[in-house]
Structures are given as C-alpha cells and as structure tokens.
Chains A and B, each alone.
Chain A
Amino acid sequence: MPLSFANPALLFGAVASALPVIIHFLSRRRVRKQEFSDLRFLQEVQARQSRSLGLRRWLLLLLRVLAILCVAVAIAGPRWGGLASQGRGPRSVLFVLDSSASMGTQMAEGTRFDAAVGTCAEMIRALPGGAAVQVILAGSRVAPLFGDWIPAGAGAVQGLAGIQGTDGAFDLAAVLREASRLVARAPSATVEIVLLSDLQATPNSTDLPQAVERFLSTGQSRLFVRAVGAAVAGGGVLEIGLPGRAVIPGEAITLTAVVVSEYPEQVFVLDLDGESVAEAVADGTPGRPQNLAFSLTVPASGLHRGQVRKESDVFPADDSRPFVLAVPERIDVLLVHGPDRPVDPAAGRGGWRFLAQALAPRGDSGLFRVRTVDSGELTTGALAASDVAILLDPDPLGRRALQGLGDWLTDGGRLLVMVGEPTLAGYFGETLLPLLGLSASARWVGEDAAANPQRSRIIDARHPVFAGLENEALVTFGEVVWRRWFIVPEDGAAVLLSLTGEAPLLLEGTVGDGAFALMTSDLQTSNTTLAASPMALPFFQRLAASLADPEGRSAAVNGQVGEVPVIVPATGSTDTPLASAEALRAVEDRDGVSRAATLLWRQGRPALRAVSPDRAGFVTFIAGVDTVGVMAAAVPAVESGLALLSSQQWSADQTALGLPVTGDLSASAAVDLLDVLEGHDLTPWLLALAVLLLAVELGVARGSRATPLPA
C-alpha cells in the first residue's frame, strides 16, 4: 500500500469529520413550525431558490467534512509511496557498493563506480541523525568498508573518499554472507540494504541458495536496489583458450579467444612479449560472443606474457585480456618396456623404440627427454625424476617396484599404460588394471578381430590431445587400422578414443592425485598401423604433454581477478631460492606493489601462493632475484558489458531465487533515501488542502449567507 502513516492511531481523529454531518442533521431536526398569513410569496421564492440552496448546503457540508478529514489525516503523518514505510525509528542502512570490473565503465563523467560512490554519499548525507550506516565493497573481495556500524554523517561520507573499484566479479552469494554477518550486528532490528550496482548479469554461484537462506534467517532486513549507469555497448575479450598441454618451441599452435566485437570486421590483436604476433578479424555479429583463432609459432621455452586486445572503448577493464603462455623446458619421460624377444621386430617389444623415437625424434633437444628402462630394472628413484612414466608391454614388475609405482601415481604421478601383448593378458588384467583403479578384467580380442580390422574414433575432439588439429590430421588419424586389442572395463574413466565397434581404445582417469592414460593395444604392426601413420608423432607427443602438464604443473597460471594465485615453480628454478621464505614475493605489474608470497607444499612439490589481485594484469612470483612464476589475472568473463539487467529484471531474478527485493530505487531521481523509503510526507499538502477547502467553503458560504435585515 503506497499510503502509510507515521501515527496511525491518530487516524481516529478522522471521526471528527462526522461532526459537520451530525450538526447538519441535528439542525435539520430543529425545524420550527410557524403559522403564517399567506404562503404565496414564500412558495414562489422557494421554488426559485431552494434547489440551488440545497446543493450549496450539501457542498458546504462536503467541504467542511473534507477539511476536517484533511486535518485529521495530516495529524496522523501520512506518507505516500514509501518503499519501506513500516517501522520507523532509528535506521540502519547497509550500502552495498558494487566494485566489480564492469563498474569501471567510463561514463560522461567518471565511471559507474564513481557514480555509485557519489550516490551513496548523497544518500548517507540525507539520512536523519541517529541512523547507522555500513558499506560493503563487493568486487574481487567482499568486505565491509568500516570496522563497525557508524553514525550517518560527515564521517561516513568521508570514509567513502578514495575507495577504488576492482576488476573482479560481483558475487551475490558472498555479498549476502557478509550482509548476514553485518545485519546480525546492526544497532537496529531492521536493516535497509541498498545495493548500488550496474546489475551486470552474472551466473549464480552454486552456494547462492545457502547464502540466501542464511540471509533471510538473519534479522529483519529489506533489500533495495538502485541501478547505476546506463547500459553501454560492451565488447572485448571474454576468454582466451590456451593449449591444454605442453607446447613445444617452434610448434605452430592456435590460440582461441572468445571476443565480442563492437562493430563489424573489428580486428583483435594478440601480443606476445610486447609484440603483436597475430591478428584476427571478428566478422560475426557485433555485440555477440564469437570465437577467434590466432595462429602463432611457439616461442622458446619460458613464460611468455601475452594479451589479446582491441582498440580502447568505454570498458577499459575488458579491452584486453592477459594470458601467460608457458613453454616448458623439458618433459622427462621414463619409458618402461619389456625385454625384447627374437620375434620382436626392430621397433622392440610392443614398439617401444618407435615410441621413444616419436617422443624425441631429435634426441634430447626437443620437449621430451626420454629415458628407457627394462621393466625388470625399474626403480622408484627413476620414477621420482620423471614427469611421465610409460609402461609398454612390461614384464611383471617386482613387488617393490609395483608398490613404488602405485605410490608414485597416487602422489601425483603421470602414467601411460600400453598393453597389446596377448601373453600379458593375465598380468594386465589382474595387476595393472587394479593399479589404475579399474576392474580386474582384460579380454583379448585377437584373430577374429584381425580378420575384421577396425578404425579408431575420436570421442572428445576438445581434449588437448586432439584440440587444434587440422581436420585433415584428424581424418588421417581416423584411417589408422586396429587389428588386435584388449577389452577393458571403463569404470568411470573417460574414453578419448574408441574403436568403431565401441570398444574403448584410449581411456583417461585419475588415481589419488595422479593421472593415467590407458591404451588397450601397443604399436606392433600386427596390432595397428599407427606406427606408420604420420599422426603417430603428434599423437604421442600431445598425449605425453597432456599427461605431463594438464594443469598447474607449470610456473604459469592463467586466472582471473579475485582468485588466489598458486603456482608450482618450474622444476629448474626450485633449487636454492625457494629455501629462503623471506625472498619470496609477488609483484603486481599494475601498481608495482610487492607482497610476500607464501610457500606451500603440495604432493611433495613446492608451491607459492599470493594475495588475490584486485586488478587485471600480471602477478610475478619472485624468489630471490629469479622469476619463478607468472599469473595472468584477467577480468572475469561475466564482467563484460554484455548483459546489464534492468533493475526490474534483476529484482525479478532475485525474487525467483527466494530473495525478495523490497524496492527499486532506480526510478527515483531523489537521493533522499528517507524520502524514498518512507515516502513523501503529505502533511503539508493536506494542511494546504484543508486551508484551500476552508477558503472555498467561506466563498460558498458567503454566497449563500442569509440576507441581512434591512436597517
């Protein structure tokens, strides 16, 4: 109900408006009878004047009733249009200032965030004495601005000076959690929460329902929203797709980027180490996300800082998106094979020599450094020194070696198992498969299959092993013939390749902190034509690189603002500097501020953690004088300028989530929060109306006043 009253009890005064009516009817009852000589003149006059007089009397009665009613209602303190009209008294107002990246959008004067801060300051100034305020900054981090609730006034306004926005995303769940905590400590029972935001559309986090539930259970609060800043045509770089595997220096790779162009044929540029190395034209529909591909040659080993950018627009935070391309120096591969037999060809048992050659065709100068070892000579030390271990048709391992292999895998080891020797069926099924967490069942498909060879089929083309390959390469890979293989249970492992007969050929899974890949055949020419295929080298190199560095294994992190950066330093840089914790620090390139980094240990490997950055850019991890890792902190993709919601839509969305939005302050030009919350005070208007009614009443009464007796 838009009409409310400060003192509803005083509305009983409206009963006084019945007085004129009572007096009117009482006076009508006191009709005096009077005999008179002749009524002819009275009848004539009455016929002429009684109707107008009667109307005038009723009009007078109405005016008097209305005048008294206006005064009575005015005394009750009426207010119109209040969004939170109930429960006046000392107020606690919690302002939530959206300080996310999209609030950095430039407007005619300042940014959206500047406008939000200005509006917040004006609202605080307009609050009455006795009100308490608190401000939450909601960006990459959600934290209160003041230590506790403080009185509204100059002090609170002063506290807003100098606060900065961030390049992080707005997280409603985090805001509600923080608001719940502050509402519980508010000095009044009711808390008005005012969100000042551009209402950037963000996907709901999974813990939002719990946050809403907690918020609703904490005290009595009302949520208001005020949209800040008009929607502008956004655009920018939303996401960059880096190879999900270790890349090899000199390799031609393709980086993808999801961009939003502002106009047709907009050119996006990829910079690497400060130089433009690739361009791509966005020829899709402006304003909509589209994929761009940048072709480049992988530079030398190391951490390369790059960005995909476009020309500047009104959304500076999203004009470019940084990334780090980590080119590892070397991947140590331990190839464990069975002893050669007279029947084995030159490629060795299971084709292990061919596999070693495929991984390191140029010896140790490439990405992989391959060491081969007979399965009977496998040691745990050799395993610990390798990034990837490959078991190719091994003879049964000794108990200690098997135990060491299991522990190494569980602690984060990377293992590729390839078995295509029918004589190993028992060992493969009963020992190796359980080692990988799979059921002990391996069925050999031999001569029958040889008579009906099958081809392989790629199940997940987006997997790093296949991602970015040309279509011709994929077709070539599909032409490989498979004649003999094992059938193993999937047991939750991901199938990357299968045969046309649906039997899984290549599986991927995890054991503890480790990861494995399992190929159900080997490289013997009697089993497959893969060794003769031109796709053998890229396939195995990609497979080994994917296993070695699926994520976080390099010293580069491609994250976003608000995320806690953790890097695992490159192996070659972990010797001396990390031993001294005082020398560990993280430097943000944006402001050059150096902060201490924390040394962690994960699966026996050192890791460094820094404070989550507030701004997009690079965070360089330094140990002593050496750079041991780099993080690219990008603006969260959800913070693009693509989907600003209207306050009505935002309110409807939250209401659908069970978070009622009491009012929308966006339509109100006034910043008098009290006026908006409690509505416009109608008292002076009603009193003025009462005076006006009385004036009209006097005028009408004068017109109908009794004719004075002649002197």
Chain B
Amino acid sequence: MSNTLLTPELVGRLGRLDLVARLVVEGFLTGLHKSPYHGFSAEFAEYRQYIPGEPVANMDWRVYAKTDRHYLKVFTEETNLRATLIVDCSASMDYTSDPARPTKKIYASYLASALSYLLLRQNDAVGLVTFDEAPLAMVPTRSLRRQLFQVLKVLDNLPSGRGTKAGEVLHRVAERIQRRGLVLLLSDLMDDPDEIIAGLKHFRHRGHEVVVFQILDPREIDLDFSGEVEFVSLEEPGEKVRLEPAHMREGYARRFEEWRLRLRRECRRQLVDLVEITTDTPFEKGLGAYLQKRRRLY
C-alpha cells in the first residue's frame, strides 16, 4: 500500500473529485495482493495466462487440453449490489481543527467519491443522498457509467447545512429505498444517539446492510486546545461555551468515549458496521472496511 498518496491532505490538493476518486481507488487496489473484485460475477470476459501459484479453480482445462497451456478464465463482473451513500451535510460536518486538513464534510465527499468509483467500477449500482435536518439532494441508484458523474456532481457541491436531524432523515431515506442493498452512511453522528440508532434499525429492518463511517476531526476526540477558548457551535452560532480545554480534557474525553461506546454497542447489536475514522486517517481504512463488508456479503 502506498499511504503517502492516500492521505487526505495530499488527495485534497487534487481538487477534482473524479481524480480524487480514481487516484484513491486505483492506489488502493494496486496495493492489494489479490484483486478483490475478480470473481464477483459469472459472465466470462477473457483468458489470461496462468501464473504459477494462482488458484486453479478458474483454470480452463479445455484450452489446456487443446493447447497444452494453462489459461485462466476471467469473468466480467455482474452486479447485484445496490449501494446508497448517505452523506451528512450538517453544519457540524464543516468543522476542521486544521486548515490543512479537510473538513469532515470534504473528507466525507472524498470518501464517498472513492466508494462510488469503486462501486461503479465493479458495476454495482450507486445512489446518493445528502442531508442535514432533512434530505437535501438525492441521486437515484444506478449502475450506469455516467452515474459517477452524477454522484460526483452532487458531492462536489455539497451545501453548507444547518443542524442535524439524522434520525429523522434516516427514517425518511429508509422508506424511500425499496430494494435491499448496502447503505453507507458518512456522518459524524453528532445527534441524538437514540434517534440515530432508531434510524439505523429502520434500515436493518428493511433488510439493508449498513456500514456507518463515523468521521470525526482528531481535535474532537482529544480536545487538544490551549489557553482559554470560547467555543462557538457551528450548528447553533449563538451558542457558546467558554472554558479552558486543558482543564476539561479528562472529563470531556470520558463523556465523549461514553458516547462512542454506546454507538459501538448499539451498532454491534444491530449488526451495523461502525467504521470510526478521523479526517487525518488514510482513505484505505474506509475503502478496506467497505470491501470487507462486500466480501462478507457476496
């Protein structure tokens, strides 16, 4: 794996989401020992020469009999996966503690772009829903080539949202997705945990597989601020808290961890994959988590 190419800071300099998506995905795939998407469908695509050491499950014995050479059958992928990306655009997602690092929303857009590219490359169908207090934009789930363009167009223009009502939005989106599939939620989950869990339950109830990417800024976790700070809420601009983070860090960390533990516990209970990533985390973690899920499913 080439981590240096996949750091959010470097990727962010590319600017164009299509390039970001391609670079991330190709880089990610190049680093894998084995192509994860071969063999996911049943339609024959071509032959290629067998390399000693490879599994012989797809060896075309007929060709071997005729030519006395070893060829493997390569199958063209055939999708049966419908993935819906749900991206949180609430105001809290606009937060970054370091201007050099992408905001949580941008990080989410990069990750969503990469996931879309990866999905579409595997001929999976991809849809997109953005939301803050309510659904903002929706790209229907399709597997067309141009679908990537549609998705990236929305991700490239994510609005600055307001507050978060993730629970309500998840319920509404769950009602609108008719066919079972994979739901990829990209959010900081800064909302009432009960509401969020209820929304995720709704997806599970309708037979969806759910992967939640909880995207957080590193400072939200460690509260690494010095001096006296007046914190202003991004979601409620009039709301302020004045304190010395250094003296509150322990209590904050305890409360924050309690919250995350609860999310983990509930997600585990609902068989929802919770991927906790921070905006300084390489994208492989997100993509890897998706592929693992994909592999378990198909």
Contact = CB atoms under 8 A, between A and B. Distances in A.
Residue from B188, B232, B248 having most chain A Cβ neighbours under 10 A = B248
Contact of A707 (B92, B188, B232, B246): B246
B48 interface: no
B230 A31 contact: yes
Interface in B152-195: 188, 190
Contacts of B217: 37
Contacts of A28: 228
B43 interface: no
B198 interface: no
B268 interface: no
A44 B243 CA distance: 12
Given A38-B233, A709-B222, A32 B243 contact: no
A307 to B, nearest CB: 92
B228 A31 contact: yes
B241 A27 contact: no
A41 B246 contact: no
Contact of B233 (A31, A39, A44): A39
Interface centre among A31, A34, A46, A48 (most CB of B within 10 A): A34
B242 A31 contact: yes
A37 to B, nearest CB: 4
Contacts of B273: none
A38 B92 contact: yes
A710 interface: yes
A49 B92 contact: no
Contacts of B224: 709
B232 A38 contact: no
B64 interface: no
Nearest to B232: A35
Nearest to A53: B247
Interface string A670-711: 000000000000000000000000000000000011110110
B95 interface: yes
Nearest to B189: A38
A34 B231 contact: yes
A464 B251 CA distance: 108
A37 B220 contact: yes
Nearest to A46: B243
Interface in B205-241: 217, 220, 222, 224-225, 227-236, 239-241
Interface in B54-89: none
B293 interface: no
Given A41-B252, A41-B255, A706 B244 contact: yes
A45 B228 contact: no
Contact of A38 (B225, B228, B235, B246): B235
B262 to A, nearest CB: 13
Nearest to A32: B229
A27 B246 contact: no
A35 B228 contact: no
B259 interface: yes
A33 interface: yes
Nearest to B103: A37
B104 interface: yes
Nearest to B233: A39
Nearest to B191: A38
B227 A45 contact: no
A706 B232 contact: no
A50 B228 CA distance: 12
A12 interface: no
Contacts of B93: 37
B230 A39 contact: no
B259 A34 contact: no
A41 B242 CA distance: 13
B252 A42 contact: yes
B249 interface: yes
B230 A42 contact: no
Nearest to B242: A31
A42 B244 CA distance: 10
B250 interface: yes
A490 to B, nearest CB: 104
Contacts of B244: 53, 706
Nearest to B104: A37
A707 B225 contact: no
A46 B249 contact: no
B227 A42 contact: no
Given A32-B230, A35-B95, A45 B248 contact: yes
Contacts of A35: 95, 231-234
Nearest to B254: A45
Given A46-B243, A707-B247, A707-B250, A36 B188 contact: no
A30 interface: yes
A49 B254 CA distance: 13
Contacts of A365: none
Interface string A391-428: 00000000000000000000000000000000000000
A50 B234 CA distance: 22
A668 interface: no
A32 B233 CA distance: 14
B231 A36 contact: yes
B44 interface: no
Contacts of A42: 231, 241, 243, 248, 252
Interface in A18-34: 27-28, 30-34
A33 B95 CA distance: 14
B92 A37 contact: yes
Contact of A34 (B188, B229, B246, B255): B229
A34 B247 CA distance: 17
Contact of B222 (A39, A45, A710): A710
A50 B243 contact: yes
B229 A39 contact: no
B232 A33 contact: yes
Most buried by A among B220, B230, B247, B249: B247
A704 B188 CA distance: 31
B239 A39 contact: yes
A49 B229 CA distance: 15
A43 interface: yes
Contact of A30 (B188, B228, B240, B249): B228
Nearest to A27: B228
A35 B160 CA distance: 15
Given A31-B242, A39-B241, A41-B256, A46 B248 contact: yes
B230 A704 contact: no
Most buried by B among A27, A30, A42: A42
A708 to B, nearest CB: 8
Contacts of B247: 49, 53, 704-707
B64 to A, nearest CB: 58
Contacts of B229: 31-34
Contacts of B252: 41-42, 45
A36 B93 CA distance: 10
Interface in B92-134: 92-93, 95, 104
Interface string A544-558: 000000000000000
Q: Which of A35, A45, A48 has the most CB of B within 10 A?
A: A45
Given A41-B252, A42-B252, A49-B251, A36 B95 contact: yes
A282 to B, nearest CB: 87
Contacts of A709: 222, 224, 249
Interface string B17-47: 0000000000000000000000000000000
Given A30-B228, A44-B251, A45-B255, 13 more contacts: A31-B230, A32-B227, A32-B229, A33-B229, A36-B232, A37-B93, A39-B239, A48-B251, A706-B244, A707-B246, A707-B247, A707-B250, A709-B224
14 contacts: A27-B227, A30-B227, A31-B228, A31-B229, A32-B230, A33-B230, A34-B230, A35-B95, A36-B231, A37-B188, A37-B234, A41-B255, A44-B255, A45-B248
Interface of A: 27-28, 30-39, 41-46, 48-50, 53, 704-707, 709-710
Rank and list the top 3 A-B pairs by shortest CB-CB distance, nearest first.
A706-B246, A37-B92, A707-B250
Interface of B: 92-93, 95, 104, 188, 190, 217, 220, 222, 224-225, 227-236, 239-244, 246-253, 255-256, 259
